Structure 1
Amino acid sequence: MKNVAVFCGSSNGQVQTIIDQAYELGVYLAKNSLTLVYGGSKIGLMGQVAKGVIEKNGNAIGVIPDFLKTKEIVHPDLTELIVTSNMHERKVIMYKKSDAFIIIPGGFGTMDEFFEIATWGQLGLHSKPIAILNMNGYYDHLISQCKTMVKAGLLKAINLDALIIEDSLEAVFHQIHNYEPQPVPKWLNIDRV
C-alpha cells in the first residue's frame, strides 16, 4: 500500500476534536510514507489532513474539478495537482490512484464519495479496503442506519462487514493492513459493467 484516499469535508465544522484528528491523520500518513490522495483543498478538514502530511514532509496528491478550483481554494504545496473536468472524473482518478480509502467526517460530498466507492466494492469493481474512521462518534447514526438496512434485507451483511469501521487511527490502519477482500459476486459479469 502506497496511496490512501481520504474523503472528508471542505469545512472544518465545529468540533475541535475532529479538526485535530484530521490533522493527526495527515501526520500519520506522512510518518508512515503513505501518499495522501484527496480533494486538493487547503480549507476545511481536507486542508487539515493535507497540512498534517505536508508539515511532516509527506506527499499529497490533490484531485479537483476545474469549477471548484477557486471555491475550495487549491492547496499551494501539493506534490501533484490533477484538475478534472467534472466530479465523476475526480472520483475515478482518486479511485485509480488509491490503494485504500478512509472516510472521516464530512457532508453530502463525503457521503457521495463513500457510497459510490462502497457500491463499486459491493459490485466487485474493486477489492480495495474502505474504512470509516468514526471520529468522535460522528458516524454512529450512519452505522446504525446501515445495520437497519441489513435487518430490513436491503443490504447484505457481507457487504456491511466488508467495511472497516473503527474509532481510532491505529485500529483503522491495523485493519487496512490485514484486509482480506470479499469474493467477487458470482452473478456479476464484469464485462457487462
Structure 2
Amino acid sequence: MQSIAIFCGANFNGDPVLQDAVELLAQTIVSQNITLIYGGGRVGVMGILADAVLKRGGKVIGVIPQFLMDKEVGHTGLTELRIVENMHQRKQVMNNLANGIIMLPGGFGTLEEFFEVLTWLQLGLHNNPVGILNINGFYDLLLKQMDLMVEQRFLKQANRDLVLSSTDPIELISMMNSIDIKPDEVWFKDSNLT
C-alpha cells in the first residue's frame, strides 16, 4: 500500500495506551513509505496522528470540509490540505486517494465514515482493504456485533471477513498488504443468505 486513509476521533481521551499505539502506527507508516490520508484536523486523535507522522518525516494529506476550516480545526502544517464542500466529498476523496482504510478509536463520525466505505467495498465500488486497529479492546463489542449479524443472517460471512482487525499496527498493515479483494465476488456472487 502506498497510502492509507485513517478514520479517527476529533477528541482524545488521554489514554497512554492509545497514545503509544498512535505513535507506533505513525512509525510503521513512515518506515513503509506510506502516505497518511486523514480528515485534516489538528485536534484529537487526528491531530496526534498527523503530528506523529510529520515529525518522523512522513507525508500527510488532509481532507477537510470548508465548514470545519471555518471553525479553525484544520491542520495547516500538513504536506497537503484539500478543502472540500461537505462530509460526503471528504470520504469520497479520502477513499479515492487511499489504497487501504484503517479505523482508530473515535465517536459517531469515525463509525459513520468507516461503515460507509465498508459498505462501498461490500457493494464492489472499490477494493481497498479495511481494518480496525482495536486498541485496548475499544472495538471488541463492535466486532462481536458484526459476528452476531452473521449469526442472525443479516450479514454474509464473506462480507464480515472483509473487516480485518488487530491490536498491533504492524500486524494490521501486514494483513492489509496480503489480502486480495475481488469486490465483484463478495456481494453479488450469492445474494441469498440462507
Q: Where in structure 1 are there 5+ consecutive unaligned residues?
A: 189-193
Give the CA deviation at 1:71: 3.5
> For residue 53 of structure 1, what is the aligned residue in structure 2?
53
> For residue 38 of structure 2, what is the aligned residue in structure 1?
38
- The CA distance in 1 between the partners of 2:31 and 2:77, in whole Å, is 18
- The CA distance in 2 between the partners of 1:39 and 1:101, in whole Å, is 12
Evaluate the alpha carbon distance shift between residue 165 and residue 12 of structure 1 in structure 2; reply closer, same or farther with a 3 A threshold: same
Counterpart of 2:165 in structure 1: which amino acid? I
> For residue 24 of structure 1, what is the aligned residue in structure 2?
24
Counterpart of 1:147 in structure 2: which amino acid? D
Give the CA deviation at 1:72: 6.0
Give the CA deviation at 1:23: 2.8
> For residue 168 of structure 1, what is the aligned residue in structure 2?
168
1:71-117 deviation digits (Å, cap 9, x = unpaired): 46222221111000000000000010000001110000000011101
> For residue 156 of structure 1, what is the aligned residue in structure 2?
156
Counterpart of 1:19 in structure 2: which amino acid? Q
- The CA distance in 1 between the partners of 2:115 and 2:180, in whole Å, is 20
Evaluate the alpha carbon distance shift between residue 149 and residue 73 of structure 1 in structure 2; reply closer, same or farther with a 3 A threshold: same
Does structure 1 retain, via aligned residues, the 8 Å contact 2:11–2:44?
Answer: yes
DSSP 3-state at the match of 1:13:
coil
- The CA distance in 2 between the partners of 1:28 and 1:63, in whole Å, is 21
Bigger mean CA offset, 159-168 vs 83-92: 159-168
- The CA distance in 2 between the partners of 1:54 and 1:148, in whole Å, is 39
Does structure 1 retain, via aligned residues, the 8 Å contact 2:125–2:183?
Answer: no
2:147 paired with 1:147: yes
2:8 paired with 1:11: no
- The CA distance in 2 between the partners of 1:62 and 1:30, in whole Å, is 16
Give the CA deviation at 1:27: 2.3
Does structure 2 retain, via aligned residues, the 8 Å contact 1:22–1:48?
Answer: yes
Q: Report 1:29-178 matches (<5 A).
A: 29-71=29-71, 73-178=73-178
1:141-167 deviation digits (Å, cap 9, x = unpaired): 000111111100001111011111111
Give the CA deviation at 1:19: 2.4
Q: Where in structure 2 are there 5+ consecutive unaligned residues?
A: 190-194
When normalised by structure 1's length, the TM-score is 0.92
Q: Taking every aligned residue pair, what percent have the same amino acid on both sides?
A: 39
DSSP 3-state at the match of 1:21:
helix
DSSP 3-state at the match of 1:40:
coil
- The CA distance in 2 between the partners of 1:39 and 1:142, in whole Å, is 22
Give the CA deviation at 1:37: 0.2
